[in-house]
Amino acid sequence: MGMVIDCAAYEGGRRVADIDLEQAGSVESGKGRFIWIGLHEPDEELLRRVQQQFGLHDLAVEDAHQAHQRAKLEIYGESIFIVLRTTQLNGGRIVFGETHIFAGRGYVVTVRHGSTTAYKEVRSRCESAPRMLSMGESFVIYSLMDFIVDNYLPILHQFDGEIDALEETIFGRTSGKLEVQRIYVLRHELLLMRRAVQPLQEVCARVMRFDVPLIEHEMHPYFRDVQDHVVRAVESIDNLRELLNGALETNLLLASIEQSDVTKKLAGWGAILAVPTAVAGIYGMNFKFMPELELPFAYPAIVLGILAVCGYLYFRFKRAGWL
């Protein structure tokens, strides 16, 4: 069945049998003995069958079927239900998915929705560490959370490199409309990622509380390490958003400075050109009595006077940095 990725029994930290889903609920549980089932986008019928096998809570099953949940941890009697948001980079955009974990004494059921990496690597990593896997369900939960959180960091690293390139483009004054649009897209992507990652801090903190069943006390340092990674991811997101805000403000400031320089140049040349325009306007009114028109050197004198005034204005504007 395509929706059932894997279904195996573990005992003493080792995989002892591949079992059929219909028989999973009848396998005897005990310390270090549990069933690990991996599902991918199961339909409601399959979830109800798993629910009957392990007595899952109706609300948790409903959340796992509908998806689109916020990262959280819910306690239902002696079992827990964890929602984690997953991320993948596709064409410069973040694609989000979800992983739902049902865990109780003797079983771990993972349900994947949307864009998320398959957990074969997690299962192989756990099976290669039988001493840790012998801790049972809590080690599987830690491994899944650690894998999901570790996948956040490469995305942030790639965004960091892209933001550095955008900053160089902006300070090099070679940026255009596309670069500004990309800044807005990155800000939005980071905001969405923060909404997905930030609640995990609360999940990690709560999973280490004494009132959470199933989680062994010996696993608390490992969950604390996951929490540190989540905090680092959130801080990286905030830092990248600050860099983008600074890059956008810098771009706007540099554009304003350039506009101001252009305005100054236009004003300076406008003032210079106003001199010959004013003189030409006066002598173009065709008055009958203009005595200086009869003087033999009137024309050269007017031209020299215009050039002198224009040259003086050019010198002053150039000295003031307007030209």
- Contact indicator for 51, 80 with CB cutoff of 8 Å: no
Letter string b/e over residues 278-297, b meaning 16 or more CB atoms within 10 A of that residue's CB:
eeeeeeeeeeeeeeeeeeee
Which of left, alpha, beta for 81 (phi over 0: left; psi -120 to 50: alpha)? Answer: beta
Local confidence band at 21 (pLDDT 50, 70, 90 cut-offs)? confident
pLDDT band at 1 (very low <50, low <70, confident <90, very high): very low
| DSSP states along 196-247 | HHTHHHHHHHHHTSTT-SS--GGGHHHHHHHHHHHHHHHHHHHHHHHHHHHH
DSSP class of residue 41 equals: S
Q: Does residue 173 register a pLDDT over 80? A: no
* Domain 4-254: assigned CATH number: 3.30.460.20
Instruction: Summarize pLDDT for 51-67 with one digit per residue, the tens.
Output: 998 899 999 999 998 88
Contact in structure between 42 and 2 (CB atoms under 8 Å) = no
Tell me, what's the pLDDT at 115? 67
**pLDDT tens for each residue of 290-307:** 777 777 787 888 888 888
Secondary structure of residue 82 in the 3-state scheme: strand
Q: For strands 107-114 and 93-104, give the pairing.
A: antiparallel
Residues 280 and 317: their CA atoms lie apart, in Å, by 23
Architecture per CATH, domain 261-320, reads as: Up-down Bundle (1.20)
3-state class (DSSP) for residue 119: coil
Contacts for 152 with CB less than 8 Å, ≥ 6 apart: 87, 193, 197, 229, 233
Which H helix or E strand runs over 54?
helix 44-54
Amino acid letter for position 238: D
d(C-alpha 151, C-alpha 94), whole Å: 12
CA angle, 21 then 24 then 25, to 5°: 125
pLDDT above 50: residue 160:
yes
Provide the CB-side half-sphere exposure for 269 (13 A, CA).
6
Decide if 4-254 and 261-320 have a common fold.
no
In the predicted model, what is the mean pLDDT of the chain?
Answer: 87
Spell out the domain ranges in the chain. 4-254, 261-320
Taking residues 17-25, report their average pLDDT: 82
Number of residues that this document lists for the chain: 323
Q: Helix 152-171 and helix 137-150: axis angle, to 10°?
A: 10
